[in-house]
């Protein structure tokens, strides 16, 4: 067989095996996605309820009561970027980092005012290549099973904020809306005393629950309850964001792999067509040679 | 009979949500009973049992391992670390887990104060589960005899 069709056949073979791989990766991502989606949906009511509880308390609470409520001029801010450990998930990681960098512009922060904390390898790699200051890079498990895995991150931001290392803490994550739609988002975590800035978030609901309550009774004391409740809230929010990001990651990967599989299928069709044409051309050429040879002999 | 909405959520699921007449829960200032028209309140929940009576006068038992409670007008929300309905608990399993946790706590070998504290919480939590499971069993037998 002539050179051209052999070449085509070689390419066909490699595209076919690529298709097999991407197809397998799509299936793996789909099953991981199902798992992480069921987890994210299960924890949403709790995160929402915790958020509402705190939001209904904050407007009635004196910000000086707890260090996490302390609103001050922003000298140093930190953005926690939640990303994935692995690539091949489309623009998932780039989107969330883009969103984080947009925030800088929106808030009018200078580059040297903002530090980054990364959770997930890819985000750390991209930010490092952009020469952004990463002050901490926490290793992320591929599957975050329990809230204890994010405690190092939440402890760092809580301590950093109370120790006045940072004056504002934001969380950049990807919100899972559906398996086809994920949205990179920013959540202002600290200080907690800025309820207006929390509007337009996951599970959005007006912070007030039903009737207006003038004053809550705290038992045993306001301080003691806030002392326990606020750090817990931060943990829950970070955990929820991690779960949202994970579900988004797997759906993004599934989609990316499905697209790759589809392109491979198209390519196989094109190559098969080209191959058949080349084969037919060589047969026709051979036939023409044979018939012309026999005509010459006669 | 006037009722209010009772809701208890854990990071895993919404354990129970319904209209109830009365809810009794353990807080760190002692056990409190919430009735309709209770004043707005925020408090910490400690490991123990929660008893609720719904609109049909059925009493439910739950075990809880700590968290927060917020009483709104006409609504009570509990954010629990973990919580189970009594019928989801098995007495034997609760008993075993409680024994195990106690043993580890007693040995204390190579544990920091923090570990000991978290083990103590675990023991309390299993204790609460055990109590609720036992109560549920007793009631089950009594209920059976009445039929």
Indicate which CATH number applies to the domain containing B51. 2.60.15.10
Q: Is the confidence at residue A18, as pLDDT, over 80?
A: yes
Report d(CA A65, CA A62) in Å as an integer.
6
Angle value at C-alpha A142, between A139 and A145, nearest 5 degrees: 95
A-B contacts (CB, under 8 Å): 76
Is A184 in a helix, a strand, or coil? Answer: strand
Question: Does residue A103 share a domain with residue A226?
Answer: yes
Chain B contact for A49 (CB, 8 A cutoff): yes
Q: What is the pLDDT of residues A119-166, one digit of tens each?
A: 989 999 999 999 888 888 888 888 887 788 888 888 888 888 888 888
Q: Percentage of residues in chain B with pLDDT exceeding 90? A: 14
Report d(CA A290, CA A285) in Å as an integer.
9
Question: Does residue B124 share a domain with residue B78?
Answer: no
* Cβ-Cβ contacts under 8 Å, B41 against chain A: 216-219
Task: Identify the closest residue of chain A to B42 by CA–CA distance.
Answer: A218
Contact call for B41 and A218, based on CB within 8 A: yes
Indicate which CATH number applies to the domain containing A163. 3.40.1380.10
In this structure, are residues B92 and B21 in contact, taking their beta carbons and an 8 Å threshold?
no
Contact call for A225 and B44, based on CB within 8 A: yes
Report d(CA A136, CA A253) in Å as an integer.
26
The pTM of the full predicted model, rounded to 2 decimals, is 0.81
* Cβ-Cβ contacts under 8 Å, B79 against chain A: 46, 49-50, 53
Report d(CA A260, CA A267) in Å as an integer.
10
Indicate which CATH number applies to the domain containing A285. 1.10.287.80
Instruction: Show which of residues 231-250 on chain A sit within 8 Å of chain B, judged by CB atoms.
Output: 232, 236, 239
Q: Is residue A298 part of a domain?
A: no
Tell me the residues of B at the A interface, defined by beta carbons under 8 Å apart.
7, 9-14, 27-29, 32, 39-44, 68, 70, 72-75, 77, 79
Minimal CA separation from A223 to chain B, in Å: 11
Q: Which long-range contacts (CB under 8 A, 24 or more apart) does B32-37 make?
A: B32/A219, B34/B4, B34/B71, B34/B76, B36/B2, B36/B3, B36/B4, B36/B74, B37/B2, B37/B73
Report d(CA A70, CA A86) in Å as an integer.
37
- Which of A273-277, B47-51, B119-123 is the least confident region? B119-123
Q: Is residue A148 part of a domain?
A: yes
Report d(CA B75, CA A59) in Å as an integer.
19
Question: Does residue B104 share a domain with residue B81?
Answer: no
Give the end of a domain, one of B58, B85, B112. Answer: B85
Q: Is residue A108 part of a domain?
A: yes
Instruction: Provide the residue range defining the domain that includes B12.
Output: 4-85
Question: Does residue A8 share a domain with residue A47?
Answer: no
Q: Which of A41, A44, A46 to mutate to test the interface with B (most CBs of B within 10 A)?
A: A46
Report d(CA B97, CA A165) in Å as an integer.
43
Chain B contact for A46 (CB, 8 A cutoff): yes
Going by C-alpha positions, the residue among B94, B121, B19 that lies closest to residue B60 is B19
Strand partners, A179: none
ipTM above 0.85, yes or no: no
Q: Is the confidence at residue A210, as pLDDT, over 70?
A: no
Chain B contact for A219 (CB, 8 A cutoff): yes
Band of residue A174 on the pLDDT scale cut at 50, 70, 90? very high
Question: Does residue A276 share a domain with residue A245?
Answer: no
Question: Does residue A173 share a domain with residue A98?
Answer: yes
Give the helix/strand (H/E) hosting B98. helix B91-107
Contact call for B12 and A211, based on CB within 8 A: no
**How many domains, chain A?**
2
Task: Identify the closest residue of chain A to B73 by CA–CA distance.
Answer: A211
- Which of A172-176, A198-202, A211-215 is the least confident region? A198-202
Contact call for A50 and B29, based on CB within 8 A: no
Question: Does residue A17 share a domain with residue A120?
Answer: no
Q: Is the dihedral of CA A132, A138, A142, A148 positive or negative?
A: negative
**How many domains, chain B?**
2
Angle value at C-alpha A180, between A174 and A185, nearest 5 degrees: 20
Instruction: Provide the residue range defining the domain that includes A270.
Output: 3-24+256-291
Question: Does residue B95 share a domain with residue B68?
Answer: no
In this structure, are residues A43 and A135 in contact, taking their beta carbons and an 8 Å threshold?
no
């Amino acid at each position: 067989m002539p050179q051209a069709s052999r070449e085509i056949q070689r390419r066909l073979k490699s595209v076919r095996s690529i298709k097999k791989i991407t197809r397998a990766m799509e299936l793996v991502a789909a099953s991981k996605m199902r798992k992480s989606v069921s987890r994210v949906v299960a924890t949403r009511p709790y995160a929402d309820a915790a958020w509402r509880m705190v939001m209904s308390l904050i407007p009635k609470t004196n910000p000086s009561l707890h260090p996490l409520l302390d609103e001050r001029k922003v000298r140093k801010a930190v953005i926690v970027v939640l990303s994935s450990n692995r690539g091949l998930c489309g623009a998932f990681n780039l989107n969330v980092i883009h969103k984080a960098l947009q925030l800088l512009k929106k808030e009018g922060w200078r580059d040297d005012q903002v530090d980054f904390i990364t959770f997930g390898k890819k985000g750390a790699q991209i930010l490092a290549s952009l020469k952004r200051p990463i002050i901490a890079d926490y290793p992320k498990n591929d599957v975050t099973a329990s809230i204890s895995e994010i405690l190092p991150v939440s402890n760092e931001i809580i301590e950093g904020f109370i120790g006045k290392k940072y004056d504002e803490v934001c969380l950049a994550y990807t919100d899972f809306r559906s398996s086809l739609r994920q949205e990179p988002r920013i959540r202002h975590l600290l200080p907690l005393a800025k309820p207006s800035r929390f509007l337009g978030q996951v599970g959005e609901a007006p912070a007030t629950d039903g009737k207006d309550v003038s004053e809550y009774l705290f038992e045993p004391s306001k301080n003691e309850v806030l002392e326990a409740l606020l750090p817990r809230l931060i943990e829950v929010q970070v955990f929820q964001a991690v779960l949202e990001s994970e579900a988004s990651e797997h759906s993004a990967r599934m989609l990316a792999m499905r697209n790759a599989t589809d392109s491979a299928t198209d390519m196989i069709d094109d190559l098969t067509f080209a191959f058949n044409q080349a084969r037919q051309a060589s047969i026709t050429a051979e036939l023409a040679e044979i018939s012309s040879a026999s005509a010459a002999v006669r | 009979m006037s009722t209010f909405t009772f809701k208890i959520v854990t990071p895993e699921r919404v354990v129970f949500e319904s209209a109830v007449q009365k809810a009794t829960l353990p807080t760190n200032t002692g056990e409190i009973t919430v009735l309709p028209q209770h004043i707005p309140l925020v408090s910490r929940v400690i490991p123990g049992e929660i008893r609720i009576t719904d609109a049909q006068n059925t009493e439910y038992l739950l075990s809880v391992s700590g968290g927060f409670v917020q009483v709104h007008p006409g609504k009570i929300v509990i954010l629990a670390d973990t919580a189970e309905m009594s019928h989801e608990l098995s007495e034997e399993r609760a008993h075993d887990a409680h024994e195990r946790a106690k043993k580890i706590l007693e040995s204390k070998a190579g544990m920091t104060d923090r570990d000991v504290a978290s083990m103590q919480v675990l023991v309390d939590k299993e204790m609460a589960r055990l109590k609720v499971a036992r109560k549920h069993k007793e009631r089950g037998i009594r209920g059976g005899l009445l039929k």
